[in-house]
A = this chain, B = another copy of it.
């Protein structure tokens, strides 16, 4: 994954990541942020209990050797457009978006902080997001919908933070049987790559590629060359031919430009 310029990494987690030491995902975030010398800010906007969420991640990051952990408190649009948050972010080497309800993260979309996150990512900032904080990183975020059908009416989407511009990210993926909803979302915008991330599983992404880590798998839905026929009613099933589906456990890599998966070095033993 290295050797591709000075940009920072995105670490996008499917929720319910193991917070004990030694399980890999949050350690990777600390590594990407600079290890013990990292300065991490935690964005708690998605949750209704920000103090508790911050305390939990502060405890974990401190246990992983990071001394400088701050909350980046964004309670509404004025905070997201204000100079205080931008200043705090300017000093950080890593920014982490907690889980909760992604609808609450809409207050960040298109804000000054959103632009700053994009600029700082390009300049080397590590950005992590879990659960709601994961889907918000895509160009479009999934806001709701958990039905069994693949239909336009089976999913609600909205603009995301656009930090992974070609992607539409879903989370708690296998655990909540969300392939129908990701397919539904992708049929509404087939140019976007659908990325479904299981719990305690993550992708570590540059603009060019991502690598899978963690316990579960990442499902990739590629409808770029698919035939999509939407019926008259949004509740009726979509006709969909030739979607490409990939299932990528830890160690797999995915080339975003070529839309091509590969077995990575961690699979060398097979």
Contact = CB atoms under 8 A, between A and B. Distances in A.
A229 B267 contact: yes
Nearest to A228: B247
Given A148-B174, A217-B237, A244 B246 contact: no
Contact of A244 (B217, B231, B243): B243
Interface string A231-255: 1000011111111111111001000
A175 interface: yes
A263 interface: yes
A99 to B, nearest CB: 19
Nearest to A244: B242
B252 A239 contact: yes
A261 B240 CA distance: 9
Given A177-B177, A270-B229, A246 B237 contact: no
Contact of A247 (B174, B240, B263): B240
Q: Copy number of this protein in the oligomer?
A: 2
Contacts of A229: 263, 267, 270
Contact of A180 (B174, B236, B261, B267): B174
Interface in A169-209: 174-177, 179-180, 183
Contacts of A217: 149-150, 237
A216 interface: yes
B238 A246 contact: no
A113 to B, nearest CB: 35
Interface string A33-53: 000000000000000000000
B239 A248 contact: yes
A249 B263 contact: no
16 contacts: A148-B174, A148-B176, A149-B216, A177-B177, A229-B270, A236-B249, A238-B247, A239-B247, A239-B248, A239-B267, A240-B247, A242-B244, A242-B245, A242-B246, A243-B245, A244-B244
Across the A-B interface, give the 9 residue pairs with the lowest CB-CB distance, nearest first.
Answer: A177-B177, A217-B237, A240-B247, A148-B174, A237-B249, A243-B245, A241-B261, A245-B245, A241-B246
Given A179-B180, A243-B247, A244-B245, 20 more contacts: A150-B174, A216-B237, A217-B237, A229-B267, A231-B270, A237-B247, A237-B249, A239-B248, A239-B249, A239-B252, A239-B267, A240-B247, A241-B261, A242-B244, A242-B245, A242-B261, A243-B244, A243-B245, A243-B246, A244-B244
